[in-house]
Amino acid sequence: MSSIDVTALGDDRYQVEVTDGDGVSRHEVTASPADIERFGGRAGAERLIAASFEFLLEREPKESILSRFDLPVIGRYFPEYEREIRSRLGT
């Protein structure tokens, strides 16, 4: 089981640390207010990003997740992302 910690850095940027038995990976995610509303509704940025990493970790190891990316990029790799994340967050 992985632990996911999300910290706001400002300027629509968030640091994400994923910790599991194999160590820690760090990622920087950019999510604009429009991205947060589109994907997360009222869930808030940190919850949306944490849920997005849960989604990613179900599909790939933490080491395979890009170190820097814009949140909507997930949908390019996983077309089901938007539908799935909205369902998970109840939006």
Q: Output the CA–CA distances (angstroms, integers) from residue 21 to 16, 17, 24, 90, in the order listed.
A: 17, 13, 9, 30
Torsion angle of C-alpha atoms 44, 11, 63, 20, degrees rounded to 10 = -50
pTM metric for this prediction = 0.95
Split into its structural domains, the chain has a count of: 1
Quick one: pLDDT at residue 91?
A: 77
Kindly state the average pLDDT of the residues 13-42. 96
Quick one: pLDDT at residue 1?
A: 77
Kindly state the average pLDDT of the residues 8-15. 97
Over the stretch 42-91, which tens digit does the pLDDT of each residue have?
999 999 999 999 999 999 999 999 999 999 999 999 999 999 999 999 87
Domain that holds residue 26: 3-89
Query: 8 in helix, strand or coil?
Result: strand
pLDDT above 90 (res 2)? no
